[in-house]
């Protein structure tokens, strides 16, 4: 959709946003990457320093950041806001070091919401794809809509897409078919991939190897898997980065913190996956892009490096993957 059309339809998009709130919540009622009960949780390792999770983090003035993966439509809806309220929400909740975010549209219902957001707000970029929960909705018509949007310079990537074998809202066959199709189309268009993988490590890696060139840009988002899986991905795909969210602060997420330790800082992306994965000490509330400093501060502690180094290197990594 062109910018002019998006502006013309902004009122309709807002009406659709309000009218379809229940549909959106239904599609996302288990969150995007919320840890499943089946996930291999691991309690805090007493041999390692206790992670400090302050309510606020003092940020270096010149350390700008980008939230590389967030669902703006969802965190506004859950905050009882409309899409028009983004600027006021940003003013209230984001620090001055916030530079931009990548709004991830991952189901057909959210396509027009995202069109509106990127047309109206300078600091919002986008990725479009179909989440594995919605793989049974991935039709030729939906694919055509996604392809159409890839020509917009504010559309940076294809995704999120991938495999989710815990909830199985779509069958394994539907998920694998939609995932492979989207990978091939993104490669054809030269777009980076945004990947969701839960309880599906082996098949995720296999399909990526079968459909994606080794040097393609890839963002494995909201990583909650093992250090071994992280190493397998990083070794095979040299232009792949791994995103970590507020879940690294959770009490029983030592295995994810082990993955943070294992992944070089040059291969890490900062993301919130808002409204999901809210970091401590705000767990139970709505995650949003203002929480990136908390994620970065936790990574700095886990890796025992300065916060400024985390912020500046992850900003470079975002530019490498997304070009902004």
Confidence check: pLDDT of 281 > 50: yes
Residue 40 confidence (pLDDT): 53
Give pLDDT tens digits for 223-259: 999 999 999 999 999 999 999 999 999 999 999 999 9
**Which residues are CB-neighbours of 298 under 8 A, at least 6 positions away?**
51, 53, 248, 249, 279
Average pLDDT, the chain: 90
Fold annotation for 3-10+63-322: TIM Barrel (3.20.20)
Confidence check: pLDDT of 217 > 70: yes
Q: What is the pTM of this model?
A: 0.89
Task: Please tell me the total number of residues recorded for the chain in this structure.
Answer: 324
Q: Where are the domains of the chain?
A: 3-10+63-322
Q: What is the DSSP string of 42-109?
A: B---TTSPPPP--S--PPPTT--EEEEEE-HHHHHHHTT--GGGHHHHHHHHS-TTEEEEEEEE-SGG
Give pLDDT tens digits for 102-160: 999 999 999 999 999 999 999 999 999 999 999 999 999 999 999 999 999 999 999 99
Model confidence at 2, pLDDT cuts 50, 70, 90, reads very low
Q: Which residue numbers belong to the known binding site? A: 69, 71, 160, 196, 221, 273
Model confidence at 87, pLDDT cuts 50, 70, 90, reads very high
Residue 109 confidence (pLDDT): 95
Q: What is the DSSP string of 104-173?
A: EE-SGGGHHHHHHHHHH-TTEEEEE---GGGGGG--HHHHHHHHHHTTSTTEEEEEEEEEETTT-SS-HH
Q: Which class for 55: exposed (0-12), middle (13-18), buried (19 or more C-beta within 10 A)?
A: exposed
Confidence check: pLDDT of 52 > 70: yes
Q: Which residue numbers belong to the known binding site for a divalent metal cation? A: 69, 71, 160, 196, 221, 273
Give pLDDT tens digits for 161-178: 999 999 989 999 999 999
């Amino acid at each position: 959709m062109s910018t002019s059309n998006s502006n013309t339809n902004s009122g309709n998009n807002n009406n659709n946003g309000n009218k379809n709130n229940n549909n959106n919540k239904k599609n996302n009622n288990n969150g995007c990457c919320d840890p499943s009960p089946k996930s291999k949780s691991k309690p805090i390792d007493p041999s390692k320093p206790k992670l400090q999770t302050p309510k606020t983090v003092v940020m270096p003035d010149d350390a700008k950041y980008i939230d590389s993966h967030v669902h703006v439509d969802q965190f506004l809806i859950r905050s009882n806001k409309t899409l028009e309220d983004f600027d006021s929400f940003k003013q209230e909740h984001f620090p001055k070091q916030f530079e931009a975010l990548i709004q991830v549209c991952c189901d057909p219902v959210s396509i027009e919401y995202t069109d509106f957001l990127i047309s109206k707000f300078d600091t919002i970029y986008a990725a479009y794809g179909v989440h594995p929960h919605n793989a049974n909705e991935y039709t030729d018509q939906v694919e055509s809509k996604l392809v159409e949007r890839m020509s917009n310079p504010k559309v940076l990537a294809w995704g999120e897409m991938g495999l989710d074998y815990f909830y199985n809202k779509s069958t394994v066959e539907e998920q694998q078919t939609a995932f492979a199709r989207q990978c091939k189309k993104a490669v054809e268009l030269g777009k980076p991939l945004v990947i969701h993988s839960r309880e599906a490590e082996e098949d995720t890696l296999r399909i990526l190897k079968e459909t994606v060139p080794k040097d393609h840009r890839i963002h494995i988002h909201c990583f909650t898997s093992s250090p071994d899986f992280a190493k397998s991905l990083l070794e095979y795909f040299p232009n792949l980065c791994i995103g970590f969210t507020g879940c690294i602060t959770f009490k029983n997420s030592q295995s994810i913190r082990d993955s943070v330790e294992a992944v070089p800082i040059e291969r890490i992306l900062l993301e919130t996956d808002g409204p999901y994965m809210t970091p401590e000490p705000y767990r139970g509330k709505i995650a949003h892009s203002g929480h990136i400093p908390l994620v970065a501060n936790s990574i700095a502690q886990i890796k025992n490096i300065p916060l400024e180094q985390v912020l500046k290197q992850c900003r470079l990594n975002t530019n490498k993957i997304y070009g902004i």
